[in-house]
C-alpha cells in the first residue's frame, strides 16, 4: 500500500530538502526530521501527462509538457533509528523545471 502526497494527477507533493549523492538522494529533510537513505531501490524519468498542458499555449508542445522529472524510490530511516526496525520506502522527485525536490509517495 502507498500514500500519494498531493492530489491525484498533480505534479506536486510535499516539498523536501535533499542532499544528493553520486547515485541519487543521500538524505532528505521532512520538516525538522532528517532521513538517511540506506538504499536506492529504483529510479526513472517521467513527463507530465498530455492533458496537463497549460491552456494558454496555442498548439504544439509546451515546455511543461515535455519537461522531465526524475523520480527516485529509496529506502530510508529517520536519523538515529534502526534501519532494521524503522526503514520506510519513499518516492522523491526532482523537478528541474521548478528547481525543487518533493516527496510524492510513501509506501507502507
Q: Is residue 54 part of a domain?
A: no
Q: What percent of the chain has pLDDT over 70?
A: 66
Q: Which domain holds residue 93?
A: 14-49+63-107
Residue 14 pLDDT exceeds 80: yes
End-to-end Cα distance, the chain: 5
Q: Is residue 4 part of a domain?
A: no
Mean pLDDT over all residues of the chain? 79
Q: Is residue 22 part of a domain?
A: yes
Q: Is residue 26 part of a domain?
A: yes
Residue 11 pLDDT exceeds 50: no
Q: Is residue 23 part of a domain?
A: yes
Average pLDDT over residues 42-56: 72
- The C-alpha angle with vertex 45 and arms to 87 and 10, in degrees rounded to 5, equals 80
Count CB neighbours of 15 within 10 A: 11
Q: Is residue 8 part of a domain?
A: no
The total number of structural domains in the chain stands at 1
Q: Is residue 2 part of a domain?
A: no
DSSP result, 49-86: -GGG--TTS-SS--HHHH-EEEEEEEEEEETTS-HHHH
Amino acid at each position: 500500500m502507498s500514500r500519494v502526497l498531493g492530489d491525484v494527477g498533480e505534479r506536486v507533493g510535499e516539498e523536501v530538502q535533499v542532499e544528493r549523492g553520486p547515485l541519487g538522494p543521500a538524505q532528505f529533510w521532512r520538516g525538522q526530521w532528517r532521513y538517511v537513505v540506506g538504499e536506492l531501490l529504483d529510479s526513472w524519468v517521467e513527463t507530465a501527462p498530455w492533458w496537463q498542458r497549460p491552456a494558454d499555449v496555442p498548439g504544439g508542445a509546451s515546455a511543461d509538457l515535455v519537461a522531465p522529472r526524475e523520480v527516485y524510490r529509496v529506502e530510508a530511516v529517520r536519523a538515529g533509528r534502526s534501519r532494521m526496525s524503522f526503514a520506510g520506502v519513499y518516492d522523491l522527485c526532482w523537478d528541474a523545471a521548478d528547481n525543487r525536490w518533493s516527496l510524492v509517495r510513501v509506501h507502507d
